[in-house]
């Protein structure tokens, strides 16, 4: 600290320490309107060494304004009632309105040598600052230094994602390393700016070539591929539901929900049918062609021979139909034998009655297949991609690549299942060492993938996958970014494994309480301001930052799919297009 710094400390004066001061908290008497909640301020102090031989150490104590109390002690509430009763303007009376007490309650963040030579790393304060000391507003560069803390020396880890909310000139860099290794949760209500924040972080991580896999239920991340420099590195996939990776029980369940209810008899035959369908697909292309042609003929659908069969629900339905026909037709013996040969267990013992059962299964499975196709179609449209998921899902993880898996179009259980399959594979591959690169998984709508209370088997599976990655991911280089607008519906164990948090506007009290309970680093006063945050404002808390701060997230370069447009303007535009086309 030079002497000029002392001079302008006067103009930066914000208040004087009053009352009882502790090494954790102190109170400032401040002038009206000179300070805001979450402001970062400093107080200079002198620490004597207990042995008394060395010269006293000059330190700067950093603190954050947690809350501001404003009181007019000369205005009793009784008088207020009288004013209300008589509708009197207080200025017309003899009431005193000028003597407000404004007190800022400040939380001590830590201390550093006054010359700032420790590089922004703050030590614990072990002795309270002196009452009557003046507090001041530090220089931007000093604030930037302490907000950065250790990161100073580890610039490579730093992600440029925000500015201080109350000091826009101060950039806030966060620790990317702890985000990718120790999980980050971005929690806020809808529209608060979670997706923008997540995209901003992804864009920053992409600069460091970190492999990222995004599970995107709404198409919030497709915009990433339109950003210069990312175009070639973003891969968007649409998701097919890989039914043959599931057991027959699960698939029967899907038919139940997407088609109609299967009867018990149907259920008992369904597993045989599913086995047949599973073994239908073989690697040998010649054999495959033969099988396909046979199937097309057996059920009288020549188009199958043209398009080929795929490992999907249609195949199951086709085989059910083939089975039904073979049992019903009087000359179906040949096809019967073929089906046994193809691996349909016990088909030779099937009777005419089973033919009716298979008919029922067929109808339901076709219906389910068509519902599933519809989801897939929607999914493909939202994904804006014709690229299906790679067969080897480890391919999703590549140096410098951002893989976006579109989940839009699918209902919750399908999304959860698709997610589980992919995340399991990747995690597995990291555990076995098959996958050499570390990776970061981003879960948008994370409460669907890590729900506090799993209701369906698909959810059970998803939560166990997520929980495992949350708990062990750090060891195996798999990180998580959990994004959710319903934090209170998130699994607590999973969330508590996150070491970094970005909390944005949140009005639901249940969510506020939950967040407050789970996040140790979030103070009561910070929790209190959550409902008042603006769009894009956030409290950063945890390992990504030196101490919790209120920031404004910088806007991402990429746009979201669902940027708000004026509904009526859109209508007029569409109508104009329509008329132009007609004329």
Partner 1 sequence: MTIFNQNDPKRLTEDGVREDLQRQPHIFMKLAENALTVAESLRDNYFKNTASFVAALRRAIHAAGQGQRTEAILETANIPRLDWEMLRDEVVTFIDGGVGNVQISSQIPILLRVGSYMVRTGERNLAEREHFGYYPVILGDLEGGSKERSDFIDIVRITAELLGGLSALQRTPDLRVLMFHGPLVYLMSGYAGHTPFTEKDIDLFLDQYAPDRELGQNLKDEFLEQAKLDIYPQMTDRSDEWSERRIFEPLSWIAFLYRKLIQEAKIRNPRPVIVGVVERGKLREFSEKKLLERVFRGLRQKGNEDYFNKMYGRTDLKSPKNLLDRLGYTDTLLLAMILEPGQMSETWDISKYAGLREGNISLPGEAGTSRVNYAPLKSSQIGFPDIQGCYLHVSETTEPIRIEVFKELGGNQITEAAGRTYLYSRMLPGYGFPIGLDIADKYAHVPNWLTNAYGKLIKHQLGVSLQSGEISDAQMRRILIQAIYMTHRDWLFRPNN
Ligand X SMILES: Nc1ncnc2c1ncn2[C@@H]1O[C@H](COP(=O)(O)OP(=O)(O)O)[C@@H](O)[C@H]1O
Residues near partner 1 (CB under 8 A) are 16, 18-19, 29, 31, 73-74, 76, 78-79, 82-83, 88-89, 91-103, 132
Give least dist CB 91 to partner 1, A.
5
- Of 407, 26, 392, give the one whose Cα is nearest residue 240: 407
Q: Which does 84 bind (CB under 5 to 8 A by kind): partner 1, ligand X, Mg ion, none?
A: none
Q: Which residues bind Mg ion (CB under 5 A)?
A: 194-195
Q: Partners of 403 in the beta sheet?
A: 213, 235
The torsion of the CA quartet 391, 392, 397, 400, rounded to 10 degrees, works out to -70
Q: Which does 263 bind (CB under 5 to 8 A by kind): partner 1, ligand X, Mg ion, none?
A: none
Nearest CB to Mg ion, comparing residues 194 and 393:
194
Give least dist CB 554 to ligand X, A.
6
Give least dist CB 98 to partner 1, A.
4
Nearest CB to partner 1, comparing residues 103 and 256:
103
> CA angle, 384 as apex, 382 and 388 as ends, to 5°?
95
Give least dist CB 500 to ligand X, A.
17
Give least dist CB 406 to ligand X, A.
16
CB-CB contact of 71 with 101 (8 Å): yes
Give least dist CB 529 to ligand X, A.
17
Q: Residue with the closest Cβ to Mg ion?
A: 195
Nearest CB to partner 1, comparing residues 58 and 88:
88
Binds ligand X (CB under 6 A): choice among 81, 475, 555, 576? 555
Secondary structure (H, E, C), 37-92: CCCEEEEEEEECCCCCCCCCEEEEEEEEEEEEEEECCCCCHHHHHHHHHHCCCHHH
Question: Residue 348, Cβ neighbours under 10 Å: how many?
Answer: 10
- Using only C-alpha atoms, the chain has a radius of gyration, in whole angstroms, of 32
Nearest CB to ligand X, comparing residues 360 and 536:
536
Is residue 49 at the binding interface for ligand X, with CB under 6 A as the rule? no
Nearest CB to ligand X, comparing residues 382 and 553:
553
Is residue 506 at the binding interface for ligand X, with CB under 6 A as the rule? no
Q: Which does 373 bind (CB under 5 to 8 A by kind): partner 1, ligand X, Mg ion, none?
A: none
Give least dist CB 84 to partner 1, A.
12
Is residue 447 at the binding interface for ligand X, with CB under 6 A as the rule? no
Token pair of 79, please? Answer: 């008088």
Nearest CB to partner 1, comparing residues 96 and 263:
96
Dihedrals phi, psi of 116, to nearest 5 degrees: 70, 15
- Of 526, 240, 249, give the one whose Cα is nearest residue 405: 240
Give least dist CB 76 to partner 1, A.
7
Give least dist CB 66 to partner 1, A.
18
Tell me, rounded to whole angstroms, the distance of Cα 466 from its chain centroid: 12
Nearest CB to Mg ion, comparing residues 195 and 225:
195
- Of 119, 102, 26, 116, give the one whose Cα is nearest residue 64: 26
Is residue 535 at the binding interface for ligand X, with CB under 6 A as the rule? yes
Q: Which does 188 bind (CB under 5 to 8 A by kind): Mg ion, ligand X, partner 1, none?
A: ligand X
Nearest CB to Mg ion, comparing residues 194 and 505:
194
Nearest CB to partner 1, comparing residues 71 and 535:
71
Q: Partners of 158 in the beta sheet?
A: 175
Is residue 195 at the binding interface for ligand X, with CB under 6 A as the rule? yes
Question: Residue 570, Cβ neighbours under 10 Å: how many?
Answer: 10
Is residue 560 at the binding interface for ligand X, with CB under 6 A as the rule? yes
- Of 245, 242, 234, 241, give the one whose Cα is nearest residue 442: 234
Give least dist CB 444 to ligand X, A.
8
Is residue 190 at the binding interface for ligand X, with CB under 6 A as the rule? yes
Is residue 507 at the binding interface for ligand X, with CB under 6 A as the rule? no
Non-local CB neighbours of 393 within 8 Å, separated by 6+ positions: 421, 422, 425, 426
Nearest CB to ligand X, comparing residues 191 and 388:
191
Q: Which does 29 bind (CB under 5 to 8 A by kind): Mg ion, partner 1, ligand X, none?
A: partner 1
Dihedrals phi, psi of 45, to nearest 5 degrees: -150, 165
Secondary structure (H, E, C), 468-536: HHHHHHHHHCEEEEEEECCHHHECHHHHHHCCEEEEECCCCHHHHHHHHHHCCCCCHHHHHHHHHCCCC
CA–CA separation, 125 vs 107, rounded Å? 11
Is residue 192 at the binding interface for ligand X, with CB under 6 A as the rule? yes
Token pair of 244, please? Answer: 């043959």
Is residue 193 at the binding interface for ligand X, with CB under 6 A as the rule? yes
Q: Which residues bind ligand X (CB under 6 A)?
A: 188, 190-196, 535-536, 553, 555, 560, 563
């Amino acid at each position: 600290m030079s002497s000029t710094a002392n001079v302008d400390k006067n103009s930066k004066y914000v208040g004087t320490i009053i009352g009882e001061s502790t090494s954790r908290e102190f109170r400032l008497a401040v002038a009206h309107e000179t300070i805001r909640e979450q402001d970062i301020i400093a107080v200079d102090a002198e620490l004597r060494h207990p042995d008394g031989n060395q010269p006293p150490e000059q330190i700067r104590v950093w603190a954050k304004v947690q809350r501001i109390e404003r009181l007019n002690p000369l205005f009793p509430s009784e008088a207020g009632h009288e004013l209300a009763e008589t509708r009197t303007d207080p200025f017309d009376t003899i009431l005193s309105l000028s003597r407000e007490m404004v007190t800022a309650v400040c939380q001590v963040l830590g201390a550093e040598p006054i010359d700032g030579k420790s590089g922004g790393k703050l030590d614990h304060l072990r002795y309270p600052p002196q009452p009557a000391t003046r507090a001041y507003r530090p220089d931007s560069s000093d604030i930037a230094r302490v907000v950065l803390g250790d990161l100073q020396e580890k610039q490579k880890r730093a992600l440029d994602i925000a500015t201080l909310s109350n000091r826009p000139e101060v950039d806030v860099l966060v620790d990317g390393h702890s985000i990718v290794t120790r999980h980050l949760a971005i929690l806020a209500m809808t529209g608060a700016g979670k997706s923008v924040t997540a995209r901003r972080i992804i864009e920053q991580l992409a600069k460091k070539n970190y492999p990222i896999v995004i599970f995107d239920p709404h198409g919030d991340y497709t915009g990433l591929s339109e950003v210069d420099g990312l175009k070639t590195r973003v891969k968007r996939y649409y998701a097919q539901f890989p039914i043959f990776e599931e057991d027959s029980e699960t698939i029967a369940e899907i038919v139940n929900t997407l088609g109609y209810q299967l009867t018990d008899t149907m259920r008992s035959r369904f597993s045989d049918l599913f086995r047949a369908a599973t073994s239908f697909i073989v690697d040998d292309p010649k054999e495959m062609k033969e099988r396909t042609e046979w199937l097309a003929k057996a059920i009288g659908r020549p188009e199958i021979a043209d398009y080929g069969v795929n490992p999907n629900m249609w195949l199951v339905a086709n085989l059910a139909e083939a089975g039904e026909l073979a049992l019903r037709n009087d000359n179906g013996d040949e096809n019967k034998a073929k089906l046994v040969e193809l691996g349909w267990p016990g088909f030779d013992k099937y009777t005419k009655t089973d033919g009716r059962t298979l008919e029922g299964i067929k109808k339901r499975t076709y219906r389910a297949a068509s519902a599933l196709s519809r989801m897939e179609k929607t999914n493909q449209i939202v994904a804006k991609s014709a690229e299906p998921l790679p067969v080897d899902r480890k391919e999703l993880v590549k140096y410098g690549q951002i893989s976006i898996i579109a989940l839009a179009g699918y209902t919750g259980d399908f999304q959860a299942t698709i997610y589980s399959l992919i995340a399991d594979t990747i995690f597995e591959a990291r555990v076995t060492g098959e996958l050499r690169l570390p990776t970061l998984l981003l879960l948008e709508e994370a409460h669907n993938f890590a729900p506090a209370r799993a209701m369906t088997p698909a959810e059970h599976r998803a939560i166990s996958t997520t929980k495992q990655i949350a708990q062990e991911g750090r060891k195996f280089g798999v990180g998580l970014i959990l994004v959710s607008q319903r934090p209170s519906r998130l699994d607590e164990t999973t969330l508590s494994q996150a070491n970094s948090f970005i909390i944005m506007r949140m009005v639901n009290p249940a969510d506020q309480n939950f967040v407050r309970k789970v996040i140790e680093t979030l103070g009561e006063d910070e929790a209190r301001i959550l409902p008042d945050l603006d769009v894009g404002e956030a409290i950063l808390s945890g390992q990504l930052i030196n101490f919790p701060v209120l920031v404004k997230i910088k806007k991402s370069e990429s746009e979201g799919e669902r940027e708000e447009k004026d509904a009526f303007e859109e209508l007029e535009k569409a109508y104009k297009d329509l008329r132009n086309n007609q004329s």
